[in-house]
Amino acid sequence: KENDILLGNFAAKVIESLSEEDLGWFESLLCESDNDIYNWVTQREPLPRHLDNRFMAALISFNKVKKVKIKSLSTTFGHANVE
């Protein structure tokens, strides 16, 4: 479920602007395990060399911004456990 959010929000926002190469990298990512994808996108683990590309950099950056916005809202509204 977490990956559906991480990948789905990103895809909904940028899918039309992705190059063929980016789509290939996206497809390659989807062949990986859910746990690995989650850990890489959230930067809990370093990216493997074969996924160190501009697509992954954009995906990670996109999700960092989303996380910061959510944390900011949690501070504003006093919900300490929101991430």
Q: In this predicted structure, what is the pLDDT of residue 1? A: 81
Cα distances from 73 to residues 9, 44, 45, 79, in angstroms, run 18, 23, 26, 8
The continuous run of DSSP H or E covering 17 comes out as none
25-62: per-residue pLDDT in tens?
999 999 999 999 999 999 999 999 999 999 999 999 99
Q: In this predicted structure, what is the pLDDT of residue 83? A: 42
The whole-model pTM stands at: 0.77
66-75: per-residue pLDDT in tens?
664 545 445 5
Provide, for the chain, the percentages of residues in helix, strand and coil under a 3-state DSSP scheme, each rounded to the nearest 5: 75, 0, 25
